Structure 1
Amino acid sequence: MILVMLALATVPFAQASSNDKACFASLDRGSKCEEHGPVIKYYFDLELMTCFPFLMEGCSSGKNVFTSEQECYNRCTLADEFTCGANSKPQGHCTAADDHACKNGTRCVLGPEIGYCCDAKTQDAWIAEITPKCQEGELVEANFWYGKTRYLGRKCEHKFCPEGSECIEGKWRAHCCSRNKEIPIEAS
């Protein structure tokens, strides 16, 4: 276990685990064209190590384009990979949520095999952004293969929110709010 912790301590953060060059490419939403209409696709964000939806305009998009969220994660991350909120650098390692190995101002965040001592303020801000509330209307949710979940993107300029909803952008993520009770989104 100690060898695993030492090995993880040397792994730099904010790097994709994949050799797939598409994961390292910047987002290019493409351009409007007559051959193909706009469609929601997913891209891998290297800064946050997360797959996000975006509206692909139709033609000439870049390489960092995946048909589904699952395909994006399968190609760009390891199954047991995790980081502190906002992909911030861990301040140490821990083995239980109440582990006293984490110094003041940090909190133990458990992953599949090991835990990280993560900055508490960053974790709180991160949790607030992945569990957003709408001041007006309802939070737009999507139906994925694994169930219904919050429909979160990276930036409003990526135009991932469905028609009839408003995009609200935070520091790391954006979410969609709708006055309609429910806007059905079938995500792949």
Structure 2
Amino acid sequence: MIIALRNYLIVFAIIFSPLFANVHKRSPASKCRDKMDRGSPCPNGKKAQLSWFYDIETNVCLSFKYNGCGGNSNRFDSIELCEMNCIPPGFGTCALNKEPFKNSNGQQRVCSGPEVEKCPDDYKCKHLASFGVCCPKKSEELFAKNYEAACSVGKTVKIERRGRKSNLLGKSCEDDFCPAGSNCVQEEIFAHCCD
């Protein structure tokens, strides 16, 4: 019974992983593919505010200071609204849109669950919504280092996100997203704020 179940799971993963992989590769809504646009100052005195945009290069919603007028539709009042509009349920990719490891048949290597293949040395298993795939280790580690950055002096500015604390991140310090009195620190991929 256990062997039959194990064999069934292996066959299921082999047959259906290409189908699930396509689900994970779905593109975000067209409005989410626009470049971030800070807009312009409003003549009526409407104040600038912290907003969020979907960054198609990193597949992450990032903060920026919206000047109050103009801009485009890739702008949201909260990170939750950005994620809800731009990141499809079950979406997942390797960091920085790098290609996952593929076997000699061109299929992604499934690396989670019972009796699945191990990732090559320069790849690591990244757990997506349905299964894990082997993603390039260097890009995954660089992404994690930037996404979870800590300040060398002071505290990293955090935001409340679905009941947990998360770093306040932007694409660049030029996006002027850090709160007044904090310093912006630019890393390789993202920028973060230090109090």
TM-score of the alignment, normalized to the shorter chain, above 0.5: yes
For the residue of structure 1 that corresponds to 2:144, the secondary structure is helix
1:61 and 2:71 aligned: yes
For the residue of structure 2 that corresponds to 1:7, the secondary structure is helix
2:5 matched residue in structure 1:
none
For the residue of structure 2 that corresponds to 1:93, the secondary structure is coil
Summarize deviations over 1:115-137 as a string: whole Å, max 9, x none: 11011122221111112121211
* Residues 121/99 of structure 1: CA separation in 2 closer, same or farther (3 Å cut): farther
| Structure with more of its chain in helix, by fraction | 2
Q: Which runs of 5+ in 1 are unaligned?
A: 179-188
Q: How far apart are the structure 1 equivalents of 2:33 and 2:114? A: 33
2:177 matched residue in structure 1:
160
Q: For this pair of structures, how many residues does the alignment match?
A: 175
What is the aligned-residue identity percentage? 28
1:31 and 2:31 aligned: no
Deviates more, 1:105-114 or 1:78-87: 78-87
Partner AA of 1:77 in structure 2: I
2:142 matched residue in structure 1:
125
Q: Which runs of 5+ in 2 are unaligned?
A: 1-12, 102-108
For the residue of structure 2 that corresponds to 1:139, the secondary structure is coil
The alignment's TM-score, normalised by the length of structure 1, stands at 0.83
2:4 matched residue in structure 1:
none
Q: Which has the larger radius of gyration?
A: 2
Summarize deviations over 1:73-101 as a string: whole Å, max 9, x none: 11112122112222322113312499643
Q: Which one of 86, 89, 93 corresponds to residue 83 of structure 1? A: 93
Partner AA of 1:117 in structure 2: C
The answer to whether the 8 A contact 1:96-1:108 is kept is no
Tell me the C-alpha RMSD between the 2 structures: 2.3
Q: How far apart are the structure 2 equivalents of 1:56 and 1:90? A: 35
